[in-house]
Structure 1
Amino acid sequence: MNKESANSLTMRIVIGMIAGILLGLMFQAILPKDGDLIIPLGFVDFYVKGFFIDGLFEIGGQIFITSLKMLVVPLVFVSLVCGTCSLTDTSKIGSIGGRAISLYLLTTAIAISIAILAGILIAPGTGVNMAADITFSASEAPTLTEVIIGMFPSNPFDAFAKGNMLQVIVFALLFGIAVALAGDAGERIAKTFDDLNEIIMRLVIILMNLAPYGVFCLMTTLFSELDPSAFANLAVYFFTVLGVLLLHALVTYPVILKLLTGLNPVTFIKKMRTTAMFAFSTASSNATIPSTLNTTTKKLGVGNSIASFTVPMGATINMDGTAIMQGVATVFIAQVFNVDLTITDFLMVIVTATLASIGTAGVPGVGLIMLAMVLAQVGLPVEGIGLIIGVDRLLDMVRTAVNVTGDSMVTVIVGKAEGELNTDVFNSTDDTSDDRIDFHHLKDK
């Protein structure tokens, strides 16, 4: 391995991730289990648990996540305003949105179909003994009508404060169109927003340079608390979901990309590595938006007028990874409760989960809410969700990586269709977005 690749952001994140996992597992090994302590209880409570896990690493990881989320609203708003006011024909917004939403729904339907098929063939719920005291209650999901009405903000500043991405997107689109129609005043404002966009992207690069340390803290905290027994009891379910997630990311997306654009899917997957790792470590599509936008525009060559629209929309409504979990989980829970689902039931699961990906957009705990809707639709007990919660945290990280890969794939396809894709940048082997920041010489060029 040469020095350049060893120092790349991707490699540094991998090192931070592996180091965090190993340290977390070491902490878990020395934490008290059933009163059998490897080292004195006082030392464990104060130093290992109190100072390191709940203190130093928890603080470091949460500061990293919070810093990423801090950038999401201003980045999306400024980028989308810049992209919208730069469009020569604002009617293209409808074309861009229509293509993006259609592709997001298509990939979600494909994802849950593959998941259901895998669940039927592998049968992860066969022989599982259901606990008698399983309980789970999911929040009620809003209707599609309520979501559409809620997309339009009565107070845009309240939408900014609450991070309501659909409302931020709508307001940014309207604001960008107004800027484009405002003549000389609009041109002056557009230049200001271009400058703001450049500054915010610099902030993104700063955080990306600090990512290995944030990922290290997040992995240490997570793997010090994972329950190995939960994975042992649900191993077949866990690896079924994991296998379908990897299949969808590494086979379905590349095939769709190749068929619709003719671009090299291997190049796409390689350039998605860093962003996928961001998504895995944060388990949040919204928190990964800065990295996703940076990758789609700087590495994949998509115009900002496209990426600034499709990426935030995808982070909000694209639920491929969640759909895969729902498909396998539905079959798993049906098998545990010895309920035979018909072909009609399976078709209903596909339709419900696909439409629910938009109908529950932006709702906290959206994955479990959607699963509760699906289970209720086919007459399965919602309490069965309690069976899979123990292993859902790690799967959530993987499906977030799948979701952002899907967001980027759709962005490339829409960019190609709209003539806003620089194929030279896409095919380039130079990682121009992997900027290194010298914090000792900030003004050096």
Structure 2
Amino acid sequence: MNGTFLKNYGNMIWLLCGIIAGSVLGLVLGDRVAVLKPVGDIFLNLLFTAVIPLVFFAIASAIANVDATQKLGRIMSIMVLVFLGTVLVSAFLTVVTIWIFPIHEQLTPQPGFTEHVENITAGQQITELLTANEFYLLLSRRAMLPLIIFSVLTGFAVLKTGAAGEPFRRFLHSGNEVMKSLIIVIMKLGPVGLGAYFAYQVGILGPQLFGIYARSMAVYYGFGLFYFVVLFTVYAFIAGGIPGIRLFWKNNIVPSLTAVGTCSSIATIPANLEATARMQVPGHISNIVIPLGATLHKDGSSISSIVKIAVVFTMFGKSLTGVDTVLLALGITVIVSMVEGGVPNGAYIGELLMISVYGFPPEALPAAMIIGTLVDPMATLLNATGDNVSAMMVARLVKPKSQIPNTKFQN
């Protein structure tokens, strides 16, 4: 049991140890801790340079290797709508929660954390969000979304090319495997790199920094628990009324424990498949929704994405208000929920995208990474078990209740 626990949570424990050690150094040394900042810079630079080819290979390879027999049909189309809908609901409700319980209360941002923030117009944001005017600019962390769009188009081009593109398809697959291994190696340095950067942040901002993280954790876990209990119940009711609620909660216990115990949506797939069968979801639906949901559907990650954005905004003296700001946050959240499941430590891609879109400097990344580490158990719970209630809704929308034989969805 101890061995399994350490295997599933070992990386998180080491990261937390590094963060705690850095906090102590920051409190003890104060401004003098700036001498450790280069250690954090080296870690971030390695991560920045590796994540660009990782994103390209991961996305292009995934699309290039799609089985032609699995093109979007009615089930896939409804599944995408359900995934998109629940992610947007979770993200928007998180924004509302942050408006009600502001993270930035009583915080005075320091000049060193605000002087580099870029102010650009909404039109410039949209242009830079979607495009790059030179190919080499796609290799910059400031063009994450243009790189993602280019990767998607490349994957579809490989599909369209057919047999002639087979060597390139194999190249994409091989590149994806190599880059995943490289990220895993770099993240071994995470406890030292994040520890050094956290020491620097504590030394600059002082003890008030802990207030930011404490409030953000209270918001995340409080709202996450509310979403898990209330919104999942609402979704189950949409899928099957009162009987649907009973079916969902009766059979969602094992997947929930598996998600928390393994801290992995992928590892929860077998438990989810067994649970959805007991929830009366037809096999031809659950066999599509559950595996794809483990990669594409991340309600918990969408909530953490908004919390991360709010924390970074707080540190840089900005407010998470305004239609354009909120719409960009929702758009980033949708992208994060789709791309992060296919790569190791995929949440960092979303954090890099957020930094790029809003024009924040690299100093914003450690704060977002720390939030991601602290919320991981609850995020995994919401990510993994959210696929079950989504499968119920897809089944309900694909086939009317009156046409499903021997189902307890019927009123």
Relative to structure 1, the CA distance from residue 248 to residue 138 in structure 2 (aligned partners, 3 Å threshold; closer, same or farther) is farther
2:84 to 100, 105, 113: 105
2:298 equivalent to 1:293:
no
Quote the Cα distance in structure 2 between the aligned partners of 1:101 and 1:111.
16
What TM-score comes out, normalization by structure 1 length? 0.54
- Residue 264 of structure 1 aligns to a residue whose secondary structure is helix
The residue aligned with 2:348 is 368
Greater share of helix: 2
How far apart in 2 are the matches of 1:114 and 1:375?
Answer: 22
Larger mean CA deviation between 114-123 and 260-269 belongs to 260-269
2:300 counterpart (321, 340, 360): 321
Counterpart of 2:266, as a letter, is N
The superposition leaves residues 361-394 of structure 1 with CA deviations (integer Å, 9 ceiling, x where unpaired) of: 5133222211332343233445323124335324
Q: How far is 1:238 from its partner?
A: 0.6
Cα shift at 1:295? 1.6
Residues 43-442 of structure 1 aligned to structure 2 (within 5 Å): 94-128=73-107, 140=144, 142-147=147-152, 149-150=154-155, 154=166, 234-262=213-241, 263-297=243-277, 299-340=278-319, 341-359=321-339, 362-419=342-399, 424=407
AA matched with 1:99: I
Q: Which residue of 1 aligns with 2:136?
A: none
| Alpha-carbon contact 2:141-2:356 (below 8 Å) kept | no
Q: CA deviation at 1:148?
A: 6.1
Cα deviation, residue 260, structure 1: 4.1
Deviation at 1:154, TM superposition (A): 4.4
From the superposition, tell whether residues 424 and 95 of structure 1 become closer, same or farther in structure 2 (CA, over 3 Å). Answer: closer
Amino acid at match of 1:146: S
Looking at structure 2, the residues matched to 99 and 306 of structure 1 have their Cα atoms a distance apart, in angstroms, of 11
For the 8 Å contact 1:376–1:382, the answer to whether it is kept is no
Gap change, CA 1:327 and 1:404, over 3 Å in 2: same
The number of aligned residues is 289
- Cα RMSD, aligned residues only: 4.4
Instruction: Look at both structures and tell me which one has the larger radius of gyration over its CA atoms.
Output: 1
Q: What residue in structure 2 maps to residue 74 of structure 1?
A: none
Aligned pair in 2 of structure 1 residues 375, 102: CA closer, same or farther (>3 Å)?
same
Contact 1:118 1:244 in 2 (8 A): yes
Q: What percentage of aligned pairs have identical amino acids? A: 19
Residue 337 of structure 1, CA deviation: 1.5
Q: Which runs of 5+ in 1 are unaligned?
A: 1-12, 35-80, 165-228, 428-445
Checking the alignment, whether the CA contact within 8 Å between 2:295 and 2:339 is kept in structure 1 is no
* Cα distance change on mapping 1:118 and 1:110 into 2, 3 Å: same
Find the aligned partners of 2:388 and 2:309 in 1 and give their Cα distance. Answer: 28
Secondary structure at 2:264's aligned position in 1?
coil
Q: Compute the displacement of 1:358 (Å).
A: 2.9
Task: Give 3-state SS (helix, strand or coil) of 1:127's partner.
Answer: coil
Q: Output the TM-score relative to the length of structure 2.
A: 0.58
